[in-house]
Amino acid sequence: MMRKEAFAKKSLGQNFLIDRTVIRRIHEAVDPEPADLVFEIGPGRGALTDGLVASGAKIIAIELDRELVPLLREQFAESSNFSVIEANALTVDFHELIEKTSPGKTAKLAANLPYYISTAILQRLIEQRECFSQMVLMFQREVVDRIAAKPGDSERGFLSVLCEAFLRVEKLFDVPPEAFKPRPKIWSSVVRLVPIESEVQDAEAFRRIVSASFSQRRKTILNNLRPVVPNAAAVLEHAGIDPSRRAETISKDEWLRLLGAIPGR
Ligand code: SAM
């Protein structure tokens, strides 16, 4: 045990779950059924994987640490419903993986994510959201609070708007540092993300406009939009948005109106 802990790689965000109650609550949230396909990102030493495999669902784990991959293969050698891919989850094409392994299926996703990739992975998962019926993810608490922030909340930012446009966000519970080994300095939270039918027509334009609007948080929406939207003042007026407002106060409906008011959209 001492030996194993000494090998936790800080650079890969390795804080392994040891709290049985937290593990059980994550399993309950994922709710794997025998007919399900479940992806797990970053299985580590299998703390979550064990219960997922025991459910009988088809589990495909994606682990970047090449030293952990053979250990996982050994640990689950008897389980024909388990496989692990050595890969970076940030570059995995989930559409392709599903086509190869379970054509036509929508998958569930479970992950206790390394903190350093949380924003990047979230953007990737949003891009590939059609692949998933739901995602149960653990992030640092601050990231979950940002994702779940409503218009006017100080934590509201680019990620909150992006998530609100494409997902139903349900914060499930907080997890203290003692639930992990080695212990992180910060609290974590578990969140359920369910892809929704989005009203956004052009996801790339939406991402660009929202990102530009938050580029300098202390500036008004008009000043942030000016460099990227011709006649920004007229566009905001047309969308019924006061140009002196800040991006964090804008609601989902207003973002949609703003996109619709930009000529050529
Ligand atoms: N799921 C395990 C648990 O709960 O104990 C491990 C969680 S640990 C916070 C994060 C895991 O993600 C580590 O096993 C780490 O090697 C892996 N990881 C880090 N970056 C990754 C990436 N880009 N793609 C896939 N796995 C990654």
- Rounded Cα distance between 21 and 41, Å, is 20
| Residue with CA nearest ligand 1 atom 18 | 42
Pick the CATH number of 10-195 from 3.30.2030.30, 3.10.180.10, 3.40.50.460, 3.40.50.150: 3.40.50.150
Residue 18 CA to ligand 1 centre (angstroms): 14
**Mean pLDDT, to the nearest integer, of 110-137?**
94
Domain boundary assignment for the chain: 10-195, 203-261
Which tokens hold the place of 165? 């446009």
Residue nearest to ligand 1 atom 5, measured at CA: 16
Owner of token pair 């007919």: 35
Which residue's CA lies nearest to atom 1 of ligand 1? 43
Mean pLDDT computed over every residue of the chain: 94
Query: Residue 39 above 90 pLDDT?
Result: yes
Q: Is the shortest distance between the CB of 44 and ligand 1 below 6 Å? A: yes
Q: What is the 3-state secondary structure (H, E, C) of the chain?
A: CHHHHHCCCHHHCCCEECCHHHHHHHHHHHCCCCCCEEEEECCCCCCCHHHHHHCCCEEEEEECCCCHHHHHHHHCCCCCCEEEEECCCCCCCHHHHHHHHCCCCCEEEEEECCHHHHHHHHHHHHHCHHHEEEEEEEEEHHHHHHHCCCCCCCCCCHHHHHHHHHEEEEEEEEECHHHEECCCCCCEEEEEEEECCCCCCCHHHHHHHHHHHCCCCCCCHHHHHCCCCCCHHHHHHHHCCCCCCCHHHCCHHHHHHHHHHCCCC
Tell me the percentage of the chain whose pLDDT exceeds 70. Answer: 97
Predicted pLDDT of residue 131: 98
- According to the model, what pLDDT value does residue 2 have? 41
Taking domain 203-261, whether its CATH number is 1.20.1240.10 is answered by: no
Give me the mean pLDDT over the 242-263 stretch.
Answer: 96
